[in-house]
Structure 1
Amino acid sequence: MRMVHQWHNLKQLGHGGRAHNLAGVNTTAKGELAVLCPACLQPGKNLLPDWEQEPLSIKLKQKVVSSDAADPSLNAGWAYFVEEHRYNTCISHNVVNMVDIKSSCGLAATGIGTIDCARHDMKLPNGVGDLQKGEQYINMDYIVCLALFIFTMSMINISYDIVCQWHKRLWTWMETMPEYLCPPHESSLICFFVPKFHIQAHVYKCHTNFSFNWLRYGWSNINRVASSTKEMGPGTWRDTLDDHFSDWNWKKITALGA
């Protein structure tokens, strides 16, 4: 298992082009090992220099079987999972917080939240984080805002099954977060939508305010990994899921030609 864990990490370093970095792999920046979506707009890569002038839930559970000290992550925020130390500090998640919750008893995480490019079905760098006691707003606040830093677009559409409630005080809550979690949202038009599958269970007001029907142009595949990862320590758990996310993105990239 240790060899497999190391192999996952080495493969991602190779895909990220880190093998020939003279400064060493420890200089890898946060999110640098994530395989980026080639179809999404990226300044300096697939946008013209003057582009600004142009008009424009996953069911996984992890048991408390180890600790970060005994089973540290090798990626440490380099790919899809957020950097655990900073994440812990911001949302204060630990087993003590959930000892009285029957469904969460003995679990270090009750699942994961992920931020995806919905148009191209690609995981975003630093867009994955553990969930505790269900899907709390603060968890999603953190990973959404961290993932938004890879974008420099003037318009972003965010789709989330409970966005009608979640978005209301999003930016007010972010004012209490560390500076590195506050993306420059004032310069972007950010719109919120409820996915069509979920909106059927919402009230009529949501249908009129958050439906994709009003938008112009408008991942369950990872669930099967749950049974083979739930007994893993926290570091191996995050790195194994990172490997699956990377494999998913990598195969989409390399299959584009065909």
Structure 2
Amino acid sequence: EFLDALLRYDGRGDSLLVSSCPSCECPGISGTYRCIKCFDHQMVCQDCCLQRHENLPLHHINVWNGAFFEHMNLAAMGLRVYLGHTNCPMKKEPSLLTIIHTNGIHRVVIIFCGCGAAIHPQHQLLRRGWYPATIHQPSTCVTFIVLNHFHLQTLQSKLSAMHFVTAIERETDNMGLVSVKDRYISFLQMIHEWRHLMMLKRAGHGHDGSGVKGTRAGELAILCPACPHPGINMPSDWESCPPSDFFLHRLHIAADTNFHMKNRFKPGVHPDPGLGTGWAYFVENKEYKEFLLGYVSEKDISTCSGLTALDLANTRKSMGLHVTGVGASVCAHQGCIRPLGLGDLQKGKQYSNMDFIIFSSLRSCTLRSVLLSYDIFCQWMKKQQARHAKLPPMLHLNPNTKLTGVIPKFHLPAHKQQCHTKYSLNLRPGSGCTDGEGIERDWANINPAALSTKEMGEGSRHDTIDDLFGDWNYRKVMGLGKSLLHLIPCTTS
């Protein structure tokens, strides 16, 4: 019965029982056109079909030729899409536009407004929810619906743009009988811009008097509401609390490296500057690179950890790579990436890279106490004060802030015995049940995107990873209430 229903749905249905168009009921005019996207799926005449689709230009139409259904373009049927204001007395000449939508790639005839009140063509398209691929004389657009759909899909499942565009091309023609022009490169550019615009929009910069140019370093990052923020979620007299209560106002962060997030070296490729590098989670690129120039001969960190062999195995395969991984500084409790707490690695866990990343994430910290969880803290802290003095002045830790450290609980057993008592979270007052391994969950979330970002240009990669971690922080914030409610029994038992 279900199979019969499917076959009937694909066929002409009730149109066999009527001799005229069921919409206009004009005698002698039968219904031969149907829309496969409209809910009623009714077969009507051409005029009625066009009338129904005046504001639905991206639907697929089939026409019965007496033997089978053929695909028919609404533009070929005579549909024209008018842009600009209603009843414009001075319309421009019709032009053909390619629109990428969720149900395929469409060719639409549009007419721009041409009167004195006309706005720029790109704005006429944007006001209809169509994002142009170019500013001047746009010939290709993608709908906001598609951009939002892909954006959410790639945030959740790390879907690649190539697979997404290929699926849309198959929606257009799944038989390979129609030549569909490749829109992959155009789509990459548009989704890159869309990610950037969404970050600006959600950070409130559409209503900021300083505009986009007034964006400050790290300002687009989503902050962890559970971390201590003076003037926001801390008592006004927190600075005068007794030393025994310092842990209540302590910032607990975790640092680690990820060697899955590589980036391939591509000689001869045009520069690919980021649209907002340094505005969210990645450190400011220019300052970071200038700092690292003084440490090109630095050797990899030697560590007492038994996990060193695994790290070396990950870093040996660096031939032909521009970036061997990323280092990060995150909130140790919730796992939120810290503003300006992400940076590229060029060779293993070098001190210089991680020094810059860790202290960049603390550049605005005014708290008295910071606890750092790092799997090689026992080695990293050696000569740390001397290295700290060589950092750019803007990264120098507040002189009133005391930085101490621990080793995450899973990594600690692989260290020497002397580390077990000195850097154990179990023996650190005020640490509660924190395991210090939360950053590993950040890596598990981002790693499925590694194959896509490995082939990207530097700027596109930075903006994409910023966007992915922005969604990670957003979901952490949205789930904080449920998470804390779930953990209450653990704290009261």
1:52 is matched with 239
Q: Does 1:80 align with 2:293?
A: no
Match of 1:163 among 352, 377, 400: 377
Compare 51-60 and 144-153 and name the one that shifted more: 51-60
Structure 1 spans left out of the alignment, 5+ residues: none
Deviations 1:139-160 (A, max 9, x none): 0000111111232211111010
Structure 1 residues 156, 40: CA separation in 2 closer, same or farther (over 3 Å shift)?
A: same
Q: Distance in 2 between matches of 1:228 and 1:188?
A: 40
Compare 109-118 and 214-223 and name the one that shifted more: 214-223
Compare 28-37 and 219-228 and name the one that shifted more: 219-228
Deviations 1:61-114 (A, max 9, x none): 1111378962101112000000111100001299999xxx96211111100001
Q: Does 1:122 align with 2:336?
A: yes
1:26 is matched with 213
Alignment RMSD, CA only?
A: 2.4
State TM-score, norm by structure 1. 0.92
Any idea what SS the aligned residue of 2:317 has?
helix
Q: Distance in 2 between matches of 1:43 and 1:4?
A: 36
Among all aligned residue pairs of Structure 1 and Structure 2, give the percentage whose two residues are the same amino acid. 41
For residues 103-118 of structure 1, the aligned pairs below 5 Å read 103-118=317-332
1:228 is matched with 452
Amino acid aligned to 1:177: L
Q: Does 1:12 align with 2:199?
A: yes
Q: Distance in 2 between matches of 1:112 and 1:212?
A: 25
1:150 is matched with 364
Are the equivalent residues in 2 in contact too, given 1:67–1:234 (CA < 8 A)?
A: no
For residues 92-107 of structure 1, the aligned pairs below 5 Å read 92=293, 103-107=317-321
Deviations 1:214-235 (A, max 9, x none): 1123222211110111000000
Are the equivalent residues in 1 in contact too, given 2:334–2:476 (CA < 8 A)?
A: no
State TM-score, norm by structure 2. 0.49
Structure 1 residues 69, 90: CA separation in 2 closer, same or farther (over 3 Å shift)?
A: farther
Compare 44-53 and 105-114 and name the one that shifted more: 44-53
Any idea what SS the aligned residue of 1:196 has?
coil
Amino acid aligned to 2:401: S
Amino acid aligned to 2:404: C
Structure 2 spans left out of the alignment, 5+ residues: 1-187, 247-256, 299-314, 432-441, 483-493
1:215 is matched with 428
Structure 1 residues 115, 151: CA separation in 2 closer, same or farther (over 3 Å shift)?
A: same
Higher relative contact order (CA 8 A, sep 6+): 1
Amino acid aligned to 2:391: M
Q: Does 1:70 align with 2:271?
A: yes
Deviation of residue 22 (structure 1)? Answer: 2.1
Q: Does 1:89 align with 2:303?
A: no
Amino acid aligned to 2:229: Q
Any idea what SS the aligned residue of 2:327 has?
strand
Amino acid aligned to 1:255: G
Amino acid aligned to 1:226: A
Structure 1 residues 68, 212: CA separation in 2 closer, same or farther (over 3 Å shift)?
A: farther
Structure 1 residues 127, 232: CA separation in 2 closer, same or farther (over 3 Å shift)?
A: same
2:351 is matched with 137
Larger radius of gyration: 2
Deviation of residue 256 (structure 1)? Answer: 3.8
Any idea what SS the aligned residue of 1:92 has?
helix
Are the equivalent residues in 2 in contact too, given 1:63–1:106 (CA < 8 A)?
A: yes
Query: How many residue pairs get matched?
Result: 255
Q: Distance in 1 between matches of 2:417 and 2:478?
A: 43
Deviations 1:47-70 (A, max 9, x none): 222221123232211111378962
Match of 1:246 among 470, 474, 491: 470
Q: Distance in 2 between matches of 1:69 and 1:136?
A: 29
Deviation of residue 257 (structure 1)? Answer: 5.0
Structure 1 residues 35, 102: CA separation in 2 closer, same or farther (over 3 Å shift)?
A: closer
Amino acid aligned to 1:11: M
